[in-house]
Amino acid sequence: MKIWTENLRRAQVAGPRPIARGTARFPGEAFTLIETMVVLLLVSLLIMAGLGSIFSMDLSSRRLADYTAAMAVVEAKVQDIRAATYKPPNLPFATTNVYLTNSGSIALDKAGVTFKVSGTIVSEIKPVAAGHLITVTGTFQEPRKPLVVSLQTVVNAYSGGQQ
């Protein structure tokens, strides 16, 4: 008890201890303003980068969906031409180049009722040594830049479905 009383008396006489700069006064001390601002800046940069990447991925996925829809429309036109009976020189398999132009649309709105992107589908049927070369090109006018999709195939008497 005597030692405890002695230490208490010395502390009262000496007053509070001076604290070295940069050391914590007690264990639960908070961060400084500069540390807090640096962390806030870094978190803000991470959030902005995350939002930017989300918007970029959304744009890319929408573009891929439009590309897939355009490819499906062009493929349907190719299959439509292939389904025609192959008896040259009857149309559409003539002895000269034949061009067929159709209109098409892709990209439904959010309600799923109205097409937002329209375009043209040009089919070229050209005679070649092995039969007829079919080239179907779809061009759709999107807001950013036109989307162009093209497919080719050869149709002859030995093609699938011909008799």
pLDDT tens digit at each of 163 positions of the chain: 667 677 666 666 655 666 556 565 566 677 889 999 999 999 999 999 999 999 999 989 988 988 999 999 999 999 999 888 888 888 889 999 999 999 998 888 888 788 888 999 999 999 999 899 999 999 999 888 899 999 999 998 887 665 5
Nearest to 125 by CA among 80, 72, 81, 73: 81
Euclidean distance between CA atoms 153 and 135, whole angstroms: 7
Judge if pTM exceeds 0.85.
no
HSE-up of residue 119 (Cα within 13 Å, Cβ side): 25
Output the pLDDT for position 150.
Answer: 96
Question: Do residues 107 and 66 touch, judged by C-beta distance below 8 A?
Answer: yes
Domain ranges within the chain, ordered by starting residue? 33-155
Residue 120 near residue 148, CB atoms below 8 Å: no
Tokens of 62: 């929408």
Q: Which residues contact 162 (CB under 8 A, 6 or more apart)?
A: 85, 86, 155, 156
- Reported as a single tens digit per residue, the pLDDT across 49-64 is 999 999 999 989 988 9
Map tokens 């009262």 to a residue: 12
Position 148, amino acid: V
**Nearest CA among 98, 152, 160 for reference residue 125:** 98
3-class DSSP assignment, residue 92: coil
Residues 56-92: tens digit of each pLDDT? 999 899 889 889 999 999 999 999 998 888 888 888 8
In this structure, is the dihedral angle defined by the CA atoms of residues 141, 147, 148 and 150, taken in order, positive or negative? Answer: negative
Confirm if 131 and 159 have CB atoms less than 8 A apart: yes
Least Cα distance to 98 among 140, 119, 126, 56 occurs for: 126
d(CA 135, CA 113): 30
